[in-house]
Amino acid sequence: MDVRPAERRDVDGIFAMWEALQSQGTASDPRYATATGARTTWLKAGFAEDCLRKVPFPGCLVADDGALCGFVTGTLTGPTYVLAPVAGARIDSLYVAPRVRRQGVGRRLVETFIAVAERAGVDGVDVGTLIKDERAVAFWKGLGFDPMRITLVRPPRKTT
């Protein structure tokens, strides 16, 4: 299996995996349902260009074993006004196809992402995940990620 920066030919496959990831999120917490027309919105918002970005580090890495079997996307984050100023990166999405799960593909994608981000001068990497997805929380903790803050969501008021 090869982990490499995404190429234009990968975009449709990445988006199909992203849709599967969103479905998993919805199964963990129905509030995470994907909006109607998400594919069109993402493509108009520059999803492909974000995936194909190469500077300061690749916007998307893919796992390829003859066919796409996973991806990780991420962005550079700037220092905040109240925390110690460090260049950081955020992992936005990670997906591994069911046929290769529990074979180290996710770990390899994340470790490669961290390595290329560090080579670009990034000091820290953060990730968000759904608290109700216990497998995801355990995965990230197993890679050394430690909870720092929690985002609480108040459901919208029901209208009658």
Boundaries of domain holding 115: 2-142
Q: What is the pLDDT of residues 120-142, one digit of tens each?
A: 888 889 998 888 888 999 999 99
**Domain annotation covers residue 29:** yes
Distance CA 12, CA 9 (A): 7
- Residue 68 has, within 13 A of its CA and on its CB side, a CA count of 22
Kindly provide the residue ranges of all beta strands, DSSP E only, lying in 20-154, ordered along the sequence. Answer: 60-64, 68-77, 88-96, 124-127
What is the per-residue pLDDT for 80? Answer: 59
Low-confidence ranges of the chain (pLDDT < 50): none
Exposed, middle or buried, 110 (CB in 10 Å: 0-12/13-18/19+)? Answer: buried
Tell me if 155 is assigned to some domain.
no
Cβ atoms within 10 Å, residue 67: 10
Q: What CATH number is given to the structural domain containing 50?
A: 3.40.630.30
